Chain A
Amino acid sequence: MLEWILALLVLIGAFFTLVGSVGLYKLPDFFMRLHGPTKATTLGVGAILLASALYFTFKTDHASLHEILITLFLFITAPVSAHLMAKAALHIKLKQVERTKNVTEAERF
């Protein structure tokens, strides 16, 4: 039973890590690309770390806290670095895709 849960968690984690990188590769401009790695990849790595924590907890019979530390650290730092990168991109006035610019309805039609 535990083996199945671990396998499922590892698969989900690897899949979402890949989804994040595909988003980074394919989306048209920087502000869209920011979404893939900061959300999907964080979830994927979180799932893999959870699988690892379960595995080592049941293997050694005492709680494995290293993974919790890494997970906490990643979950705290991912939004901070995303915020900083978005701020930097806004500061150097990076070009955006036309339809994502902040225009009113009247200007658009």
Chain B
Amino acid sequence: MLATVLPIAFALVSLALVLSLVRLVKGPDLPDRILALDTLYINAIALLILLGLHLGSALYFEAALLIAVMGFVGTVALSKYLLRGDIME
């Protein structure tokens, strides 16, 4: 059952990635682009976990955790830059 559902899930998450990529390219203002990047990394985490399920390997969680940490730091840094005009004060 899982083997038949996983390709569908891959397709749905990939479509979500494409939609946020479109918003990243199009997005009229800077906060839209930051939000699109945020969505992009969360979707990448979902895709990595699905790949781990598909291959039956627990190797991909470290990568997902790293992406989560780095993505959060990136989002905070970009928002701080918009708020203050500077990241570290």
Contact = CB atoms under 8 A, between A and B. Distances in A.
Interface in A9-42: 10-11, 13-15, 17-18, 20-22, 24-25, 30, 33-34, 36-37, 41-42
Interface string B44-76: 011001101100101001101100110010011
B58 A45 contact: no
B87 interface: no
Contacts of B79: 81, 84-85, 87-88
Interface magnitude class on chain B: 35 or more
A84 to B, nearest CB: 4
A11 B52 contact: no
Q: Which among A6, A52, A55, A60 has the greatest number of chain B C-beta atoms within 10 A?
A: A52
Contacts of A36: 39
Interface of B: 1-2, 4-6, 8-10, 12-13, 15-17, 19-20, 22-23, 29-32, 34-36, 38-39, 42-43, 45-46, 49-50, 52-53, 56, 58, 61-62, 64-65, 68-69, 72, 75-76, 79-80, 82-83
